[in-house]
Structure 1
Amino acid sequence: MIHQTIFLFIGGTEIVFILFIVVLVFGADKLPEIARGMGKGMRTLRDATNDIKHEVTKSAKENNIVDTDVTKNINEELNKVKDDLEDFTGSLKRDN
């Protein structure tokens, strides 16, 4: 049985084709710069998510509603977003 890596419902062949088009459009010398910019964007998004989580937790503590279902649901959703973001950025990271 052949297993293909599926990334955002895109198969390996489509990813290779997209990368080929990106290299043709931007050139090989611009790819590290583009990847660096995407990494900074992902880091900014992760930091914003953590800031929102801390603000929600802080507000909940101030109003004595730390253990309610609302805050649990918000924390679960934020954790899902964080996990999805880590899965996405994990595929972009280079092995050193």
Structure 2
Amino acid sequence: MKIAVLGAGNMGVSFSKSFLKYELTKPENLHLITRTKSNLEKIAEEFPGAQVSAFDEEFSIDSDLVIIAVKPQDFQFVAENISFQFNEN
């Protein structure tokens, strides 16, 4: 299963670790998206083989499941400023 995690902070990273630990997905099918560009390298090191992107980059999400792992107070900003596209399916 392809999984995208929108919000690669503490909660998103915890979800991602669990997905890998319980073999719900493979690293190459995991896409972590962070708001903070300075965290890209750290996240990529922690999840070798996974795709890691910054929130403001333009890309397309091709996943079976999208997890929105942001704080409630940040959700409106995220929803209004998504710069990437979801595939039709």
Q: Provide TM-score, normalisation by structure 1.
A: 0.24
Higher relative CO (CA 8 A, sep ≥ 6), structure 1 or 2? Answer: 2
**Relative to total residues, which structure has the larger helix share, 1 or 2?**
1
Larger Rg: 1 or 2?
A: 1
